[in-house]
Chains A and B, each alone.
Chain A
Amino acid sequence: MRRLVLSAALLALASAGCSKSEEKPVAPPLDGQLEPIPNPHQPGDFEPLPDPEAQGGSVGRQPRRLTVAQLDAAILNAVGRRWTGPGNDGIDARATSLGRADYALVASENTEPNLVFAKFLEDGARYTCLEQAKVEVTQTDPSLRTLSRTLPGTWGDLRKLTDAQVREFLVYNSTRFWGSPLSGDELTKWVGLFTQAATRVETLTANPKPRHQVLALVCIAMLTDPRFITY
């Protein structure tokens, strides 16, 4: 008896669910009948960006540190080579310490720029920049260079570069490394760094002069700058 009552109730529900509601068809909209869209560019229609002065000099979201995969790709693009070596060392060997998750013990990537990250990035910057700079010193075709693409085809004494050439070199590389060109007083500061380094290298007695270290110095400084590791 109970089963019969349940079946009847189910049938009643099903028939109610299947019955069509009486909906009136809506005519397609005609021109001029659409709701007007507010102009987002009108003052008062949108939330203005926060005042940087009231935000500690910054706006928008918090900067984030690059993940290991992003760092790998960024080094390749900026310096022109991956951080691999010497030996089995390199970004792959140190990925876990740099924060990559192994999904066994660590389930999420750690993007904290802690001491170990700073140390290992410094190691990687020095290795990749010095290796790349060594290659670029001997490369006469500027289009095949990465760091020194703006320098003349053959260059020796870097003191002989004009101020404009040095500035072009630094602006090019800062754009390459950070996505924003050096300018103003900061550019002047970096010009000073380049000039001092170029002068120092020429005073060394080594033969040939380790001029590649000037390129490497700028490369290391830019690669270990907070602007390189954040986005």
Chain B
Amino acid sequence: MKKNRHDENPHPGRRTFLKAAAGFMGSTLLGGIPFRAFAQAAQLAPADRCFVFVYFNGGWDQLLAFDPRDPDEFTADRASETKILPGYNLINDSNFRDRPILPAEMVGKPRSNIDFGPAVGDALAKHYDRMTVIRGINMNTLGHEVGYRYFLTGKIPIGSAARGSSTATEIVGQMSPTVPIPSISYNVESYNDRYPGYANALRVSRRDDLLLTLRASSNRLDTELENQLINLRGEPVTCEQAAYGARGVGTTYANSQEQMRLVQSQGLDQAFNFLANTPEMAAVRSRYGLTDQGSVDGERGRAALVGTALKKGIAQCVTINLTGGLDTHFGTQLTHANNQRRGFNALASLVDDLRESDHPKGGKFLDRTTILVFSEFSRTPLINASGGRDHHLCNSCLLIGAGLKHNLVFGKSGDIGMSPGTFDLRTGAADPNGENIFPEHVIATVLASAGLDYSITRVEPLRPILA
């Protein structure tokens, strides 16, 4: 098994536990109420290292996103030769440029080495100094489920059945964070093939599902009876209870009940009530551009959910289906570009938020968060007879944040037909005798960026982009 350096703080909960235990013992000695003291002593804290996996559903057009081409070079006249037609002029909308975006050089930042497709937009492109783009990824599939599950797990599925655990599960399984819901999968599948249940993601299909978990039960007893119930649960266990709880399940259940009370005592469901009339929610609305229930349920609301879950210490990993409508075999370039732009704008708000928010352990949240943005495959570089683009093998993805070198492009797709390239993966240089970049290389890189064991991927990470 490959050995990596360990996480700097693999047992972050010890101090919290000791504080809680001290509260418990102290209150017991003073004749107080143990669990109230416990709840007061143990505060939720964000994970030291966070991960976000952002899925663009349907297969994105990478010419519009992270692998653009110069329309002056790849013209319609040369399309039969290059097999590439950027088609930026066909978008024909003032919100989109007709050529790739090269972010303006900012004061104190190096010039951008990354060019972006017009759909990315300036809001996200301005974070080029915290990004790495990987191009020329060979997806080995043109099937939606296969490519999607391949990127989720870093293992090529058998047929369309996923193999192995989701990367988020792998991370949580290895790091065992103390946050109440270590992994949230928002409208995305999650797999666990070798870790105990604590590593399972909480799968939600919408915001309300998450709120259901965080919200106190609606069937309440009289306040005093509720207190009596809390006190009963807080009293020392009997020998019989101890016999059940001494090994495993009873202890885990008791801890889960305690976590539940802790979560509910903090009113965390209110943290996602983005339309509430409070200064805190007004700030969230302003940052993410939330105006009504529709926007809360859309891409911007999802991005706000991710940011809140990480910042409030509710989750360590969030895997989110941020936007869809990208499987555009028919229709116009504008439709696809608009659908991508909604996702990228929401992502830009999230990056803004994480970049500006202080982490309690020092630095900003983005210094401790790795974001992987991916889609199951890309779309053909040529436009089909219906005005859309079909499925294409060669893909690209975006990495943002911690553990990585920034302002870097790794890999390249071919200038004829955007085919997957071969590279010397130790240096990133094109090499006819080299290897393809596969999703497992990306997943290994994400794991290695946090010093985690990446041996499940059976490949080496892309070391040139590791910080």
Q: Is B229 touching A105 in the complex (CB atoms < 8 A)?
A: no
Is B202 positioned at the interface, with any CB of A under 8 Å from its CB? Answer: yes
Given known A112-B196, A180-B240, contact A197–B217 (CB-CB < 8 A): no
Q: Is B24 an interface residue (CB 8 A)?
A: no
Contacts of B244 in A (CB 8 A): 58, 63, 226-227, 230
The listed residue (B190, B192, B246) touching A57 by CB distance below 8 A is: B246
Once bound together, how far apart are the Cα atoms of A118 and B180, in whole Å? Answer: 12
Nearest residue (CB) in B for A187 is B238
The reply on A110 being an interface residue by CB < 8 A is yes
Q: Determine the main DSSP class of A at the interface with B.
A: helix
Taking a contact as CB atoms under 8 Å apart, the answer to whether B197 and A110 are in contact is: yes
A161 vs B238: C-alpha distance when bound (angstroms): 26
**Contact indicator A113/B259 (Cβ below 8 Å):** no
Within 8 A of A (CB), among B189-213: 189-192, 196-198, 200, 202-203, 213
- Which residue of B is nearest A59, CB measured? B243
* Given A65-B249, A118-B256, A123-B217: A112 touches B228 (CB 8 Å cut-off): no
Residues of chain B from 383 to 424 with CB closer than 8 A to chain A in the complex: none
Is B222 interfacial (CB-CB < 8 Å)?
Answer: yes
Selected from B197, B250, B257, the residue in CB contact (under 8 A) with A224 is: B257
In whole angstroms, how far apart are the Cα atoms of A180 and B243 in the complex?
Answer: 13
Q: Is A186's CB under 8 angstroms from B238's CB?
A: yes
Contacts of B225 in A (CB 8 A): 197, 200-201, 213-214, 217
CA distance A56 to B245 in the complex (A): 10
Residue B18 is within 8 A (CB to CB) of chain A in the complex:
no
Contacts of B14 in A (CB 8 A): none
A115: contacting residue among B217, B220, B249, B263, CB under 8 A: B263
Indicate with 1 or 0, residue by residue over B213-247, a CB within 8 angstroms of chain A CB atoms.
10001111110110011001101001111111111
- What distance in Å separates the Cβ of B155 from its nearest Cβ neighbour in chain A? 15
Q: Are A64 and B232 in contact (CB under 8 A)?
A: no
Q: Judge if B181 is at the interface, Cβ distance under 8 Å.
A: yes
> A residues within 8 A CB of B432?
none
Let me know if A115 and B260 touch, CB within 8 A: yes
B residues near A224, Cβ cutoff 8 Å: 233, 257
Is the C-beta of A221 less than 8 angstroms from some C-beta in chain B?
A: yes
The interface residues of chain A lying within 8 Å CB-to-CB of B191 are 105
User: Are A229 and B256 in contact, with the CB atoms below 8 A?
Assistant: no
CB-defined interface of A135-163 with B at 8 Å, one 1/0 digit per residue? 00000000000000000000000000000
Cα separation A225 to B186 with both chains bound (whole Å): 31
B159 on interface, CB distance cutoff 8 Å: no
Name the interface residues of A209-231: CB closer than 8 Å to any CB of B. 210, 213-214, 216-217, 220-221, 224-227, 229-230
Given known A56-B247, A180-B240, A210-B222, contact A110–B200 (CB-CB < 8 A): yes
Q: Are A63 and B247 in contact (CB under 8 A)?
A: yes
Over the window 51-93 of chain A, the binary record of Cβ atoms lying under 8 Å from chain B Cβ atoms (1 yes, 0 no) is 0100011100011110000000000000000000000000000
- The answer to whether B249 and A64 touch across the interface, beta carbons within 8 angstroms, is yes
Contact B222 A113 (CB under 8 A): no
Q: What class of interface size applies to chain A in its complex with B?
A: 35 or more
Q: Is B429 an interface residue (CB 8 A)?
A: no
Give the CA-CA distance A116 to B184 in the complex, in Å. Answer: 12
A78-132 residues at the B interface, CB under 8 angstroms: 96-97, 99, 105-106, 110-120, 122-123, 126-127, 130
In the bound assembly, the distance between CA atoms of A110 and B246 in angstroms comes to 20
Contact A63 B229 (CB under 8 A): no
CA A135 – CA B47 in complex, angstroms?
46
Interface pair A99/B189, CB less than 8 Å apart: no
Contacts of A65 in B (CB 8 A): 249, 253
User: Of all chain A residues, which has the CB nearest B162?
Assistant: A105
State in angstroms the CA–CA spacing of A220 and B257 once bound together: 13
A204 at interface (Cβ–Cβ under 8 A)? yes
What is the CB-to-nearest-CB distance from A2 to chain B, in angstroms, rounded to a whole number? Answer: 43
Q: Is the beta-carbon distance between B232 and A58 smaller than 8 angstroms?
A: no
How near does chain B come to A204, taking the closest CB pair, in angstroms?
A: 7
Is A193 in the interface zone, CB < 8 Å from B? yes
Chain A residues lying within 8 Å of B192, measured Cβ to Cβ, are 106
Chain A neighbourhood of B203, CB < 8 A: 96-97
Q: Is the Cβ of A226 less than 8 Å from the Cβ of B180?
A: no
Residue numbers in B under 8 Å from A220 (CB-CB): 221, 229
A96–B209 CA distance with the chains assembled, in angstroms: 12
Tell me the complex Cα distance, A97–B181, Å: 13
Please report the C-alpha to C-alpha distance between residue A225 and residue B257 in the assembled complex, in whole angstroms: 10
Contacts of B190 on A, CB cut-off 8 Å?
A: 105
Contact assessment for B222 and A226 in the assembled complex, using a CB-CB cutoff below 8 Å: no
Instruction: Say yes or no for B248: interface residue by CB 8 A criterion.
Output: yes
B224 touches A200 (CB 8 A): yes
Q: Which residue of B lies closest to A226 (CB)?
A: B250
Contact of A216 among B221, B224, B245, B250 (CB under 8 A): B221
Given that A114-B200, A119-B213 are contacting pairs, would A57 and B242 also be in contact in the complex, using a CB cutoff of 8 Å?
yes
Most buried by A among B180, B202, B250: B250
Determine whether A7 belongs to the interface, using a CB cutoff of 8 Å to chain B: no
CB pair B249–A114 under 8 Å, yes or no, is no
Q: Is the CB of A213 within 8 A of B229?
A: no
B254 at the interface (CB under 8 A from A): yes
Task: Say yes or no: is A165 at the interface (Cβ < 8 Å to chain B).
Answer: no
Chain B hits for A117, CB < 8 A: 253, 256
Is B270 engaged at the interface, CB distance under 8 Å to the other chain? no
Docked CA distance A219–B47 (Å): 37
Q: Ordered nearest first, which 6 A-B pairs have the shortest CB separation?
A: A112-B197, A113-B253, A126-B219, A118-B256, A226-B250, A58-B243
> Which residues of A does B touch, CB under 8 Å?
52, 56-58, 62-65, 96-97, 99, 105-106, 110-120, 122-123, 126-127, 130, 180, 185-186, 189-190, 193, 196-197, 200-201, 204, 210, 213-214, 216-217, 220-221, 224-227, 229-230
B interface residues (Cβ-Cβ under 8 A, vs A): 162, 180-181, 189-192, 196-198, 200, 202-203, 213, 217-222, 224-225, 228-229, 232-233, 235, 238-250, 252-254, 256-257, 259-260, 263
Given contacts A200-B228, A221-B233, 15 further A-B contacts (CB under 8 A): A52-B243, A56-B247, A62-B248, A105-B190, A105-B191, A112-B196, A113-B253, A115-B259, A116-B202, A119-B213, A127-B219, A193-B232, A226-B254, A230-B244, A230-B253
Question: Can you list 17 A-B pairs with a CB-CB distance of less than 8 A?
Answer: A57-B246, A64-B249, A65-B253, A97-B203, A110-B197, A112-B198, A114-B200, A114-B256, A118-B257, A119-B213, A123-B218, A186-B240, A189-B232, A210-B222, A213-B225, A221-B233, A230-B249
